[in-house]
Every structure is written in structure tokens, then in C-alpha cells.
């Protein structure tokens, strides 16, 4: 498998999910103006793929109640891909009415998580997701499908890889342009993820797959590397490591975008994302949310930045004194 940019395969796409997955369960609710400020900071970093919001019940997820207003404030921009999560056909209709040209559906790989997440049985959820995907294909709308709890379910335990891949194939057959295999609670381990993605790539092809990892057990970057070696070239991540599913106990923050970008760039892959600008966006997220956020590289990055400032100030002072 080519790695580190060999054979022209070094481009990796980051799909930023912080505005949806990162904010949906946060105790501090951002208004549209604040979300726009964060979005623009993320765009400045070079990110061009975003899961912007979700058209779910405002009662279930109040933080996403402003979905239509947020979409209206962001007219289409060439080269930028925006999707919105929709739980069913009703959500799809609302997203289309708001002007969305990209959507995502979520199908959990287990019965119980579907019941807790979207109030449907697994079979009913499969039918509903497939119906949305067929409609999106007919409308010319980009559609991705999450297969959630791909490594383990918080209610039912380990998930069968065969189940995950069968559901991925079913969603692709229904019209999904892309399937995101999601370790919703961060339960995966490197060997398990390697086996899962190797099989998924063999049966579905790498080009229509992406990976979504949580950093619950500090393995988010490691699992991304494993999936990368199996041919995956698109990953979800959330600025500052924000996020977690409100209906899945144990689903702590997502893999931090800054951690993923740092690992990829250090390893020779190309993300087209500027790390200093991304770190500035993470700092902005912390200020907007009223608390410290940030990936695992944040302490190192801030220490390095301070050291450079001290060195720069020392050099400038020396020059001002004539260098003595």
C-alpha cells in the first residue's frame, strides 16, 4: 500500500464535523453569528469539506434548531462541500427546502443504538436511510451514509465486521456517494480497525469510503493511521476534539482536526490545511464555548510557539543593543 505521498497518493481530505457533531451536545449553545465566525476561521485554515448542521428535531437536539438559518447565511462557495445530517425523509425535505446540496444519513449497526439514536428498529432505519438516499440520487444531491457503532455498540458490545460491511454495501446500492465507517464510541483497536477497513476496501473500494473516529481511549490518531494504510483517504475530524453522540454513552470527543492534520503532514501526506490557522480556529472555539478545547498536540504547539516568541524577542533586543 503506498504511503507518505508515494505514487501520487498523498492527498488526504479532512471533513470537518465540529459545527455539527462538535456542537450538538455541548452545554454552551452557539448562535448563528458565532457559528459563522468559527466556520470562517476554519475556512481560513484551508478546510473545504464540512458537515455544517443537522435537520433533526429541535426538541431532541436544541443546539441544531437554527439549521435553516445557518444554511441561509452561507451561500454556496465554489470548491466548498457542505453536508447536513438528516435523520429521515422529513429531515431531508427540510434540508432541501433550506437549499442544501449535500446530506448525510446515520445508520447504526445495532438494533439498540438505532432505537436510542433515531427511534427506529434496525430494519426500519435501513428502509428510511435507503429511501432518503434514493431521493437524494434522484435530486442530484450528494449523499453520504454513516454506519455507526462500527467497532462496538455501547448497549450490545462488539460489532461484527460482516454486519458493518453488509450495511455499507446496502447504503451504496441505495445511492450513497460515500459511506463513513464510524467508531462512534472510540472502542476500536488497531488490529480490529485494520481488519475492518481491509475487508471494507476489498468489497466496496476505497474511493467511496471514509473514516470517523473518536478519541475516547487516546487511539484516534493511531486508528486513522491504520485506516490510511488500508487505502482510506478521507477522514472526519472535529476542531478541538469537540463532540460526542448524545444518545451513545461513552462517546466522548471526536478526533481533533489539529491532531489529525499534524500527523498527516508530519508523515508526508498533503491536507492543504495550514496548521497555525487551524490552531487559531481551535483557540477561537475555546473562547466561544467558554472553556479550554484542543487536541493532544495543543500543549506542545503552544509551548513551541512561546519558545519561538522568546527567541525572536531576544534576537530583536540584541539587535537593538547593537548585538552585545
Could you give the residue numbers annotated as active site?
A: 245
Alpha helices in the chain (DSSP H): 32-44, 67-72, 89-98, 111-118, 122-139, 161-174, 190-204, 220-229, 257-266, 275-289, 298-320
Joined grid coordinates for residue 34: 458565532
Q: List all residues 6 or more positions away from 262 whose beta carbon is below 8 Å from its beta carbon.
A: 275, 295, 297
Bridge partners, residue 179, by sequence: 145, 209
Do 38 and 281 contact (CB within 8 A), yes or no? yes
* Diameter over CA atoms, the chain: 77
Q: What CA–CA distance (Å, rounded) separates 96 from 94?
A: 5
Joined grid coordinates for residue 163: 454486519
Joined grid coordinates for residue 162: 460482516
DSSP string, 258-300: HHHHHHHHHTT-B----HHHHHHHHHHHHHHHTS----TTHHH
Helix axes 220-229, 190-204, angle to 10 degrees: 40
CA angle 219, 85, 271 (to 5 degrees): 50
Amino acid at each position: 500500500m503506498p504511503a507518505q505521498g508515494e505514487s501520487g497518493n498523498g492527498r488526504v481530505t479532512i471533513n470537518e464535523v465540529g459545527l455539527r457533531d462538535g456542537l450538538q451536545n455541548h452545554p454552551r449553545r452557539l448562535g448563528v453569528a458565532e457559528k459563522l465566525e468559527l466556520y470562517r476561521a476554519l475556512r481560513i485554515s484551508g478546510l473545504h469539506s464540512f458537515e455544517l448542521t443537522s435537520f433533526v428535531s429541535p426538541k431532541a437536539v436544541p443546539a441544531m434548531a437554527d439549521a435553516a438559518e445557518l444554511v441561509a447565511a452561507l451561500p454556496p462557495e465554489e470548491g466548498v462541500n457542505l453536508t447536513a445530517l438528516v435523520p429521515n425523509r422529513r429531515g431531508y425535505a427540510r434540508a432541501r427546502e433550506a437549499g442544501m446540496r449535500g446530506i448525510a444519513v446515520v445508520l447504526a449497526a445495532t438494533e439498540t443504538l438505532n432505537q436510542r439514536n433515531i427511534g427506529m428498529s434496525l430494519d426500519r432505519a435501513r428502509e428510511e436511510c435507503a429511501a432518503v438516499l434514493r431521493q437524494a440520487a434522484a435530486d442530484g444531491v450528494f449523499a453520504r451514509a454513516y454506519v455507526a457503532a462500527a467497532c462496538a455498540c455501547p448497549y450490545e458490545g462488539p460489532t461484527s465486521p460482516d454486519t458493518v460491511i453488509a450495511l455499507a454495501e446496502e447504503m451504496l446500492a441505495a445511492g450513497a456517494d460515500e459511506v463513513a465507517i464510524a467508531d462512534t464510541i472510540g472502542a476500536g483497536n488497531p488490529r480490529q480497525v485494520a481488519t475492518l477497513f481491509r475487508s471494507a476496501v476489498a468489497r466496496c473500494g476505497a474511493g467511496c469510503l471514509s473514516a470517523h473516529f473518536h478519541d475516547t481511549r487516546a487511539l484516534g490518531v493511531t486508528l486513522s493511521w491504520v485506516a490510511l494504510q488500508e487505502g482510506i483517504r478521507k477522514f472526519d475530524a472535529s476542531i478541538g476534539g469537540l463532540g460526542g453522540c448524545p444518545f451513545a454513552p461513552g462517546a466522548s470527543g471526536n478526533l481533533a482536526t489539529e491532531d489529525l492534520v499534524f500527523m498527516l503532514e508530519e508523515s508526508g501526506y498533503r491536507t492543504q490545511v495550514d496548521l497555525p490557522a487551524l490552531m487559531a480556529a481551535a483557540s477561537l472555539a475555546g473562547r466561544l464555548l467558554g472553556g479550554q478545547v484542543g487536541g493532544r498536540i495543543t500543549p506542545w504547539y503552544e509551548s513551541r510557539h512561546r519558545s519561538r516568541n522568546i527567541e525572536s524577542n531576544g534576537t530583536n533586543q540584541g539587535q537593538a543593543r547593537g548585538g552585545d
